[in-house]
Amino acid sequence: MKTLLTVILCLLVFGCSQHKEGEIQVDLERVVTEAESGERGYGRKSNIFFEDLNKDFIYPSQWEYPEVAVLSRGDDFKNIHVLRHENNKGDTTYYVDTNANSDFTDEDSLYFVRQGDRLVADALVDIYPESLNVDSIRVHFQVVKIDDWRYGRISEHRTGTLNLGGESFDILLRPRSKEKPIYQRDSGTVLFLDANKNGEFEGQWQITDEGGISIQRKD
């Protein structure tokens, strides 16, 4: 699924430049990495930890040994939770509260796809930002199982072309973590640049005083 978006990038806010403060308009395309594709994508995974449910959550009474974890925790949106329980065959089934209403009775179980040493499941989640003038924003997440560990990640990013100093560069934006699912001009969004035009995106770069691109290498 791809959706055309338009944003204004302030290069200083992204921490990519110490020069040439200003705003550049870039058309961005939404790119989703689905579990079935077998690709890892650019989303950074981080642990999710399960614990016993409390009375705030609604789930069918026949579910045995239910546990809940926070899939994505944010200061400006309702937390997204994932629940797991054992079915009558002794298998563990997972559900994501995709509409953040603490009710798992209206959710479908996750379908996991094997990718090498891991199992990956897709979840399309409605994020409800409290500070933005919107009802909700749909974001693609994934739940990942590797041995006894469980992870969550955002499975979408943005791509576009940056025109600078008479040259064009491919760029890629992704959230810094799964706790930052909303693309905004702040440190929660990371901007990568294909500075060498070789299909590889650099995270450390800046605009020089002459308006060119300089890659910052770490020794």
What was the pLDDT predicted at 202?
59
pLDDT in tens, 54-85: 888 999 988 988 999 999 998 888 899 999 99
Same domain flag for 147 and 196: no
Buried b (16+ CB within 10 A) or exposed e, 134-173: eeeeebbbbbbbeeeebbbbbbbbbbbebebeeeebbbbb
pLDDT in tens, 89-113: 778 999 999 999 999 999 999 999 9
> In the predicted model, is pLDDT for residue 186 greater than 70?
no
pLDDT in tens, 123-148: 999 998 876 667 889 999 999 999 99
Same domain flag for 180 and 195: yes
C-alpha distances in Å from residue 124, one per residue of 4, 14, 32, 127, 156: 18, 27, 11, 10, 11
* Tally of structural domains, the chain: 2
Asked whether residue 40 is domain-assigned, the answer is: no
What was the pLDDT predicted at 98?
96
Domain that holds residue 17: 4-33+156-215
Please state which of the ranges 2-16, 151-165, 200-214 shows the lowest mean pLDDT: 2-16
Asked whether residue 41 is domain-assigned, the answer is: no
